Structure 1
C-alpha cells in the first residue's frame, strides 16, 4: 500500500502563526499548572484531603487557586481554538473527515475548559463566603463543585485525548507533521484515554507531560511553516 505525501500550499500555511502561538501558549499553561501542582498546591493535590481540609486550604489560598484555574482552564481553552483551526486547515484537503471531527472535539474541549474554570473560580468565592457562616454547608458545596468539575474535565482527559489522537493519525497519513511528533501525540492520547479506567487517573500526568512536548513541538513546526510561507507569499505579489 503506497502512502501519498501531500505538500501543503501557501494558503494552508497562512494561518499557521496564530496556531503556533496558540500551541505555545497551551504548552505554557500546562507547565504553569504542573509546577504549581507539585509546589504551592502540593498539600492540597497530594493524597485525599477531607472536605474540611479542602475548604480550609481553599480559604487560605484563594488568590493562588484563582490564578491556577484561570491559567490551566480559561487561558488554555482560548489557546487551543486557533490551534485547532490551523490543524484542521492543514489536514482538511487530504483527510477531511478526521480533520473535521478532530476540530469539533477541540472546540468541545475548549468549551469544557471554560465551564470548568468558571465554575471553579465562582465556586471559590461562594465557598469562602459560606465558610464564615456555615462551614458544614461550605464543605458540602465544595464537594459538589469538585464532583461537577471533575466530570467536566478535571478527572479524565477523554475529549482532549481523542482530539490529539485524530490529529496524529491524520497527520501520519498525510505527512503534514513530523513522524516523531505524531508518535508522541499517539502516546499522549493513549495515556489520556487510560484515565477513563477507575483507579488509573494518575496516568493523566503522563498525558500532561506528553502534551507539553506535543504542544511545544507543534507550535515550533507551525511557526517555522508560517515563516517559510511568508516570503513565498511576498514573492507572489
Structure 2
C-alpha cells in the first residue's frame, strides 16, 4: 500500500512538471505563424517537427501513463472509506487516461501525415490538419470536462473519507469545477484549469509521499 502511495505521489509531481513544461514551451519557445499562408505554416511545423512531437508525447502519452498510476493509487487510498464515490471517480480517471493518451497519438500521427501531404498540396494538408486538430481538442487538448469530473469526485471522496489535507480537497473542488467549465470554448478557462491543477498536483504529490513515509515509519 505504501509503495503505491509513494508511486502515486511521484506521478502527481511529474504531472505538475509536465504542465509547467507545456506552458514554457508554448509560451516562450513556440511561435506558430498564425497569419502566414498554409505553405509557411507547414514549413514552420516541419522545421519544429521533432520538438513538437516530443512535447506532444510528453504532455499527452507520458502524462496519461503517470495519470494511470495516480488514479490507481488514489482509488486504493479511498476505496474503504468512500467506496461509491471513489469507484465513480476512478471510472472517470480511467476514461481521462484513455482520452489523453489517444490525443497524443493522434496529434503525432496527424502531424507527420499532414507535413508529408503539405509537400504536394499545402491547402489540402491544412484542411486535414484543422480537422485532426479539432479531434485532438475535443478529446483532451481543449476540453477538460472528464478530468474536471475526476478531480471533483475525488476531492469529495477524500473529504468524506477524511483523507488528504482538507484545504487541498477544497482546492481540488475548485480545480474540478474549472475543468468542467471548459465545456464552454474559452481559452481562459482551460488556462485556469491548467494553472490551478499544477498547484493541486504538486500539493497532492507531496501529501501522498509524506503520508507513505509516515506510515512506513509506524510499521517499523
CA distance in 1, matches of 2:4, 2:106: 32
Aligned residue in 1 for 2:213 = 227
- Partner-residue secondary structure (3-state), 2:32: helix
CA distance in 2, matches of 1:56, 1:188: 38
Q: Which of 37, 60, 73 is residue 26 of structure 2 equivalent to?
A: 37
CA distance in 2, matches of 1:213, 1:117: 23
Please say if residues 99 and 170 of structure 1, whose CA atoms lie closer than 8 Å, have aligned partners that are also in contact.
yes
Aligned residue in 1 for 2:105 = 118
Aligned residue in 2 for 1:6 = none
Please say if residues 55 and 142 of structure 1, whose CA atoms lie closer than 8 Å, have aligned partners that are also in contact.
no
Aligned ranges for residues 1-237 of structure 1 at < 5 Å? 11=1, 13-41=2-30, 43-44=31-32, 52=38, 54-198=41-185, 200-233=186-219, 235=220
Aligned residue in 2 for 1:7 = none
RMSD: 1.7
CA shift, 1:55, in A, is: 3.0
CA shift, 1:49, in A, is: 5.5
Runs of 5+ consecutive residues of structure 1 not aligned to the other structure? 1-10
CA distance in 2, matches of 1:79, 1:51: 38
Deviations 1:20-62 (A, max 9, x none): 1111111111111111121112x339xx657726434322211
TM-score (norm 1): 0.87
CA shift, 1:169, in A, is: 0.8
CA distance in 1, matches of 2:70, 2:135: 27
Paired positions, count: 219
CA distance in 2, matches of 1:51, 1:161: 36
CA distance in 1, matches of 2:99, 2:35: 25
Please say if residues 51 and 143 of structure 1, whose CA atoms lie closer than 8 Å, have aligned partners that are also in contact.
no
CA distance in 2, matches of 1:51, 1:44: 12
Deviations 1:156-188 (A, max 9, x none): 100100000011111112220101111111111
CA shift, 1:197, in A, is: 1.6
Deviations 1:78-116 (A, max 9, x none): 011111111111111111111011111111111111110
